[in-house]
Amino acid sequence: MIDTRRSFLRKGALLTLSSLPLAAGCAHLEQRIERLKTSSPRTAAVLWYSQTGHTRVMGRLMAQVLRAEGLTVTDADYREFDASTLPSFDLVIMGSPVYYFRVPENLRAWIAKLPSLEGIPAAAFVTFGGVGHNQHNTSYELLEWLADRGAVPMRIAAFGHMSSYAPTWSSGRSARILTFRDLPNEQTFEAGRDFARKTVASVRARERASIGTEVSVFQPLRRLDMPWWTKLLASNHRIDPNTCIRCGKCERACPVGAVSVERNRVDSARCIFCVGCVNNCPTGAMKMTYFGSEVYGYREFLKRNGITLRLPRELADG
């Protein structure tokens, strides 16, 4: 078993090294501002994918800013939003966490099936962990996918948070993550407000923007199906029936339907290793072993380290 893993890792390392030159090629989004549906947006959809709440908070904050700008705003997790209504909006802002150096597969699949967004101005943002790995290019990737559906790309941004990657702290490497224990802070929130304000101002002014990728050694890793490789290091992914309270949070968090509380089952072939189930289980009943260590979730991590995440004043009442 160990040998198989080693050979997989060796192959992964070789593939990574051989594809490094790909990082040097930078791409640019063609903006074609003249296709804008309107420069007087009245409605906006602010949508996000979020497992531990970072991206949700930034999305909700941006929605409040757009409301203050006079727009009627629908803000929601993309999984609770009726995609068929998206073409009726005058502006779309979409947010995602960075997972494995890119936009998570489930969000990518959802965007690919969207109806035409022809002429709708769109902005994309990501939240990322710690120093970040490929965050700029991930926000670009998210906007590129919206542009592929016909949207007019306006702006991208990346906001630093604490990493929600449970295997890191569970393997005894929490110090790296705790360096960023003060994030998000007021500066993060101000950057989020600024992003929303500037997006709507650019649409009103029909302002052209230059949106491109950055050189990053992490960019080629996107091609490696990192969740699949990482999953090789994990085992024993299951629900502990003795501590499970059947609240269904793990099932709702799973974006690919791999968890069934009813059948007490995790389908590891389907799992995309987002660890949303572990991170959202309130009792630690969602079990997983990573590199020999038992993985515990984000709530528990915050509790053990006495951390309460800040909220922007606009959302302080919930």
Question: In angstroms, rounded to a whole number, what is the distance separating the alpha carbons of residues 26 and 140?
Answer: 11
Question: In angstroms, rounded to a whole number, what is the distance separating the alpha carbons of residues 57 and 75?
Answer: 11
Based on CB atoms, which residue is closest to ligand FMN, 50 or 139? 50
| Minimum distance from residue 222 beta carbon to ligand FMN (Å) | 9
Of positions 89, 99, 140, 301, contacts ligand FMN by CB under 6 A: 99
Question: In angstroms, rounded to a whole number, what is the distance separating the alpha carbons of residues 268 and 266?
Answer: 6
| Residue 208 β-bridge partners | none
Question: In angstroms, rounded to a whole number, what is the distance separating the alpha carbons of residues 93 and 298?
Answer: 26
The reply to whether 301 sits near ligand FMN by the rule CB under 6 A is no
Residue 224 CB neighbours (<10 A): 16
The reply to whether 55 sits near ligand FMN by the rule CB under 6 A is yes
Based on CB atoms, which residue is closest to ligand FMN, 130 or 150? 130
The reply to whether 169 sits near ligand FMN by the rule CB under 6 A is no
Number of residues interacting with ligand FMN: please give it, by CB under 6 A: 24
Question: In angstroms, rounded to a whole number, what is the distance separating the alpha carbons of residues 247 and 73?
Answer: 31
Query: What character string, x for contact with ligand FMN (CB under 6 A) and - otherwise, covers 227-266?
Result: ----------------------------------------
The reply to whether 188 sits near ligand FMN by the rule CB under 6 A is no
The reply to whether 98 sits near ligand FMN by the rule CB under 6 A is yes
Residue pair 251/259 in contact (Cβ under 8 Å)? The answer is: yes
Of positions 44, 46, 54, 261, contacts ligand FMN by CB under 6 A: 54
Residue 1 CB neighbours (<10 A): 7
Question: In angstroms, rounded to a whole number, what is the distance separating the alpha carbons of residues 45 and 123?
Answer: 11
| Minimum distance from residue 129 beta carbon to ligand FMN (Å) | 3
The label of the residue with tokens 């597969």 reads 105
Q: Which stretch binds ligand FMN (CB under 6 A): 30-38, 54-62, 193-201, 250-258?
A: 54-62
Based on CB atoms, which residue is closest to ligand FMN, 154 or 277? 277
Phi–psi pair at 64, nearest 5 degrees: -65, -40
The reply to whether 133 sits near ligand FMN by the rule CB under 6 A is yes
Chain centroid to CA 286: 21
Residue ranges binding ligand FMN (CB under 6 A): 50-56, 97-101, 127-129, 132-133, 135, 161, 163-165, 274-275
